[in-house]
Structure 1
């Protein structure tokens, strides 16, 4: 009896979730928000819990320190000067336009509010992503591997880009290495967060422009 009730509750939950996703007005935003929430949970919430309650260490030791985070802002500007023209150039490729932006703006749809809501959620997801790779993994392994902890981190970081446009996957290896170096140097992930969000916004706006979104 307990098993049957359990199955019924799961089926009801699945039906509720499916009805939310199938919402003709907001379904796309709900689905993307669900994806981002799962990423935030596993990339941020779980590692934070491990650091605080299992390792019993400070989050600032894993890249969440704001001290000295902006001291290398010229490097941030330099990376943007290098990356943004490349993003604009590759945004014309078919594989790029098929994937970006994640939130597909319908013909005649205003960017406000849903596209802007999605971009805010997207940016929070990047905070979680940077923390997991350039914080939790990198600073969690640097005592054992030293500088080579960057490459330990870059391998899984590259793997999450499998299936994306080839240029983006290759760029992830280079960017992951550079951002890993920045994080080791400054002991902070925030420079990487700013770079990631700036490039992602440029990618979405470039794709929208090419699709005639504004």
Structure 2
């Protein structure tokens, strides 16, 4: 791809451009009344479309399969348990309570809310970006995908924003070594569910 006399790799241009633009669009623009649906269209369906029609590949090449499920299960149980406990503890902070304290308190509702919020989000960063950049730059993609993920947390409670970068590196490592985005999704889901439960329990 030649632009203004310079030669660029087209996949790099697409991946980096979307990593910058989609989080901005997701935060500032609303096209429907259904936020979770909209975010999954943005972060899941659109990347799938790019993978199939622009890259000519299968979504399975981007971490959609189960990969090394034994390692993934171990990561999910150990890391997921740790971040769930940490999230429940951190959610007692006033800023996190204020940010996450409103909403349903039932276990089923919280799990559904977490899954709806994170499915596309995790695929975009730990699937589309990680494995797309990984095809070009190898394991360095773990660090590359962590940057837009961390920046997408600006405006959230400071502790959450601060931990977003190391959390993204750890999640990227798990996805890379297992070959699947599903395990970071489950881990992040455990953390978010614990935060919502703890923050809303204290608001009742």
TM range (shorter): 0.7 to 0.9
Q: Does 1:175 align with 2:167?
A: yes
Which deviates more, 116-125 or 62-71?
Answer: 116-125
Decide whether the 8 Å contact of 1:33 with 1:121 is kept in 2: no
Structure 2 stretches of 5 or more lacking a match?
A: 1-31
- Structure 1 residue 207: Cα displacement: 0.8
- Per the alignment, residue 126 of structure 2 pairs with 134
For this pair of structures, how many residues does the alignment match?
174
User: Would you say the 8 A contact 1:90–1:96 is kept in 2?
Assistant: yes
Could you say which residue in structure 2 is the equivalent of 1:152?
144
Unaligned runs of 5+ in 1: 1-31, 106-110
Task: Summarize deviations over 1:91-119 as a string: whole Å, max 9, x none.
Answer: 11111011114x535xxxxx56xx84564
- Post-superposition Cα deviations, 1:122-157, rounded to whole Å, max 9, x if no partner, equal 403311111100010110011222111111101110
Per the normalisation by structure 1, the TM-score is 0.74
CA distance in 1, matches of 2:33, 2:108: 13
- In 2 relative to 1, CA 196–95 (structure 1 residues): closer, same or farther, beyond 3 Å? same
Correspondence for 1:191 among 154, 176, 183: 183
Q: Against the structure 1 CA distance between its residues 80 and 116, is the aligned structure 2 distance closer, same or farther, given a 3 Å change threshold?
A: closer
Whether the 8 Å contact between 1:33 and 1:118 is mirrored in structure 2 is: no
Point out the structure with max Rg over C-alpha.
1
